[in-house]
Structure 1
């Protein structure tokens, strides 16, 4: 710290030796700067305040139906991007600023100057903006601000319509692309279903259910076949017994009527079991119960008719007692009925065997096709997934297109935002710049600073040694001593006079700038 202070002291002593040079430079530069400040042209600022109302009663009503743009964000971006070259060129034409621009260079300079002079400031609250322009002509400044307000409003509405049209065109293009994708996917699905209709049907689950149903039908057919074969074998055994035993001559009609009728007895027994099952679920008046009882009555009536026929056959057999025993077997009605029942049983067995063979072949075909089922299911899943994704995107795009259309109509009806001109532009009566009351003292300080800089530079160009220590440091030689100068009375008087003149010169320069500042203040107040 001591070295810094010593160096500063040496520098100040060197500047003091050339103080008159610095004072002269200050007096030369100071009036020039003061004249420049005084002669600066007055600039007038015209401004307008615009409030952008982004609230609309339709917004909450159309929430969820129409696209709700972030109007606040759009207005903020608009305010920051309004001062662009196309808008500035349009502003110049609207305000007739291009009348004085004769050449291309003049027009380019005009665009640059207008861009620098334009300002858009937020006025301390949301969506309240101040549009300002500074010019040497107050009337021209007002015209520019009026044109700027018009461009601000038009840009907000025009950009919104342009964005909406662009978005709708993009959505329409995407919808057409997805329509083509859906058509292609539907064609692939159609070809796949036609190609694998017999194997897969409507899906893997239906296929396995079909296999289960065919297997169950095969089991039922086999069971019915075994029952039919057992019934046929029983008839054969009964028929063999009838052929070996002749019909007695004196068999009563009651014993003949009590003989069974196998085909009718089985059907009656089956219907009775079915009727018992229906009675567990329904009442006696249910249509199914009534129908079952009616069928049982008809079967019993048929059995009664059959037994009546047997009685008549037995009576006619008894009246022909003179016939031989060998011929009695041929006219035995029971034997004939059993032969008919056996023929029906044989036909039933043949039919059931054909059914069993058909179900067995179907089951084998389904089992053979089951090896390709996983691959078919994978292909079907992939095709269906692509179709579902495309269909979902297509539906979403259609919904957004309708939402965008509704948003455009809503914007056309109520407007995106309401631009309200709070303070219209006016012709300024007083200049806003330059601020000479601040520039004039600053010019005085600048003159003094320039004088100090000149003194410092000369002291560095023509340095002097103010003490022995500086001489020793600069030369690197040992300094044995110094000879002091004892000034006489006249020399000391001259030094004091020189200091007074110097301070007087500095004070006069400061007073000059102070007087000019006071004069400017009085002129502004007047």
Structure 2
């Protein structure tokens, strides 16, 4: 323990013997350090807190979700410090006084980007921090400038997000109107082209009235006509057979002439009734058969040769002839209709070769029309949605802006902490002086104690003689000590003076 104490005393003695070197080094370090601290410009910081609230009552109804509002808040935070907005800040503050070229403007913008910070404390609460340390401005001017920068950013925010949203909505609606007009014109042209193509190729287009459908309808009608023609031909053949077995005239004589005439008339009526399709069970057929039987009995009972014979036209034969003429006309009409249908089918068959190409062209025209129609409907829907959302966001004040804390007016510099730096320079200077004196003592070989001399030489030391000073040497030593204390006090005085000047400057800013 005594060894450590002795070493400490040796160090103190070595430094004290070189106290003038220590004081000179301390003065040099302090003066240099204080000069550097004095050259550091003061930075003044202004803060403001703003709240941005997005209404959600109507917004949710028109499809503005919470993530859309969160994206809007992120956009606000990112775009507030954009180059365009920072140029507005430069032009709206005293920074514009030192801007004479685009290069200087770019430099000011870059400086502001580094000195402006926007913090998001919560989802809708922002803090704007601006620092001003322009070398060409005084401390008071920098303090005022920092507050103006924050206020200008707030004004830009209001201008961009309240009136800017309306301009953006108007520009978007204008663009959509132009696109809708162009799509509407193209859609009208496509409609006219489709109508014209349908008119020119009406019979060749698929769907109702197409060649295929007409062909199928003609085949069905031809089958029906052929069945009707077979039925009419069969009825005509039966009627011809019946007509060949019916005499054209009947012989009548004397008193039996009337009976035979009545018989021929009854037979004609019976043939006409059967031709109409009546069966033997029909009451009229039964009555006619009974009448014919009675007349036959009457004629059979009349003696032969009782009177002259006469040739009387057979009414049944005449009736069958008229019926045959009707049947022949019906058969001829059905045959003519069959020939007409077959001619139409032959024409349809020749036109069917053109139908696939026409159908493909019509499909292409319809496809283009559907695409244009879908684009037009989508643009129209987007336009109405944007129009409604724009009205909700702007006309109903969907964005509520509120200044929680207005821009502060800084009274003290945010950086640097000059009193602390001045004190640190003083301590560093004193430490540097002591260190220089100690290092010098280590470089020179001295023996401040008898023990160190004995250890270094290896020989025993008989004794040591203390320093003996005369009265003149004591007077000179005291004078030097007064000078040393004055120089040391002067160093502390300069430090105190710098502290006083610093606080006076701060008072002038306030």
Is 1:424 matched with 2:406? Answer: yes
Q: Distance in 1 between matches of 2:126 and 2:173?
A: 31
Q: Deviation string for 1:159-209 (max 9, x for gaps)? A: 322322222122122212212221222222122212211233x53894423
Quickly say closer, same or farther: Cα 1:179–1:110, change in 2 above 3 A.
Answer: closer
Does the 8 Å CA contact 1:204/1:373 hold for their aligned counterparts?
no
Distance (Å, rounded) in 2 between the aligned partners of 1:405 and 1:489: 97
Pair 1:83–1:404, CA change in 2 (3 A): same
> 2:226 maps to which residue?
222
Q: Deviations over 1:377-403 (max 9, x none)?
A: 111111111111111111111111122
User: Cα distance 1:449–1:359, how it changes in 2: closer, same or farther (>3 A)?
Assistant: farther
Q: CA, structure 1 residues 236+388, in 2 after alignment: closer, same or farther (shift >3 Å)?
A: same
Q: How does 1:140-219 map to 2 (within 5 A)?
A: 140-200=145-205, 203=207, 206-219=210-223
Query: What is residue 371 of structure 1 aligned with on the other side?
Result: 353
Equivalent pair of 1:189/1:383 in contact (CA under 8 Å): yes
Tell me what 1:45 maps to: 45
Distance 1:118 1:38, change over 3 A: closer
Residues 1:71 and 1:145: Cα distance change in structure 2 (over 3 Å): same
State the Cα RMSD in Å.
4.9
Deviations 1:498-518 (A, max 9, x none): xxxxxxxxxx99xx89x969x
2:384 maps to 1:384? no
- Gaps of at least 5 residues in structure 1 are 1-19, 270-299, 455-486, 497-507
Report if the CA contact (8 A) 2:129-2:150 is conserved: yes
Q: 1:67·1:407 contact (CA, 8 Å) conserved in 2?
A: no
Residue 111 (1) aligns with residue 108 (2): yes
Native 8 Å contact 2:150 2:407 kept in 1: yes
Partner SS for 2:410: coil
Tell me, yes or no, if the aligned pair for 1:95 and 1:140 is still in contact at 8 Å: yes
CA 1:428–1:26 in structure 2 vs 1: closer, same or farther (change >3 Å)? same
Conserved 8 A contact 2:22-2:432 = yes
Shift of 1:73: 2.0
Deviation at 1:27, TM superposition (A): 5.9
User: Structure 2 matches for 1:207-286, cutoff 5 A?
Assistant: 207-243=211-247, 246=250, 256=267, 258-265=270-277
- TM-superposition CA deviations, 1:11-52 (whole Å, max 9, x none): xxxxxxxxx999988863553123332564443322110111
Are the equivalent residues in 2 in contact too, given 1:242–1:335 (CA < 8 A)?
Answer: yes
Deviation track 1:464-483 (CA, whole Å, cap 9, x = no partner) reads xxxxxxxxxxxxxxxxxxxx
SS in 2 for 1:170: helix
Helix, strand or coil for the counterpart of 2:52? strand
Corresponding position: 1:128 with 2:125: yes
Give TM-score scaled by structure 2 length: 0.66
Give the Cα separation in 2 of the matches to 1:432 and 1:174.
Answer: 55
Q: Which has the larger radius of gyration?
A: 2
- 1:336 is the counterpart of 2:318: yes
Deviations 1:296-315 (A, max 9, x none): xxxx99x89x979x99xx99
Matched with 2:464 is none
- Alpha-carbon spacing, 1:90–1:191, altered in 2? closer, same or farther (3 Å): same
SS of the counterpart of 1:216?
helix
Aligned equivalent of 1:409: 391
Partner of 1:465: none
Question: CA shift at 1:448, angstroms?
Answer: 11
CA distance in 1, matches of 2:339, 2:426: 123
In the alignment, the residues of structure 2 paired with residue 118 and residue 416 of structure 1 have an alpha-carbon distance, to the nearest angstrom, of: 31
**Preserved CA contact (<8 Å) 2:52 2:402:** yes
Give me the whole-angstrom Cα distance separating, in 2, the residues matched to 1:415 and 1:488.
87
Q: List alignment gaps of at least 5 residues for structure 2.
A: 1-19, 133-138, 437-444, 457-486
Pick the aligned partner of 2:80 from 82, 105, 109: 82
Number of the residue aligned with 2:12: none
Q: How many residues are paired up?
A: 414
Distance in 2 of aligned mates of 1:424 and 1:247: 140
> How far apart, in 1, do the equivalents of 2:391 and 2:317 lie?
95
Normalised to the residue count of structure 1, the TM-score between the two structures is 0.65
Return the alpha-carbon distance in structure 2 between the equivalents of residues 203 and 131 of structure 1: 70
Q: CA deviation at 1:102?
A: 8.4
Shift of residue 127, structure 1, vs aligned partner: 2.6
- Work out the CA distance in 2 between the residues paired with 1:390 and 1:375: 23
CA distance in 1, matches of 2:322, 2:274: 11
1:417–1:245 Cα change, 3 Å: same
Q: Structure 1's 365 and 447: CA in aligned 2 closer, same or farther, altered over 3 A?
A: farther
Q: Which has the higher contact order (CA 8 A, sep 6+)?
A: 1
Alpha-carbon separation, structure 2, partners of 1:263 and 1:69: 91
1:213 Cα deviation (Å)?
1.3
Deviation, 1:144, is 3.1
**CA displacement, residues 87-132 of structure 1 (integer Å, 9 cap, x when unaligned):** 334334544554x548559974993586257523224211321122
Query: 1:143 offset after TM fit, Å?
Result: 3.2
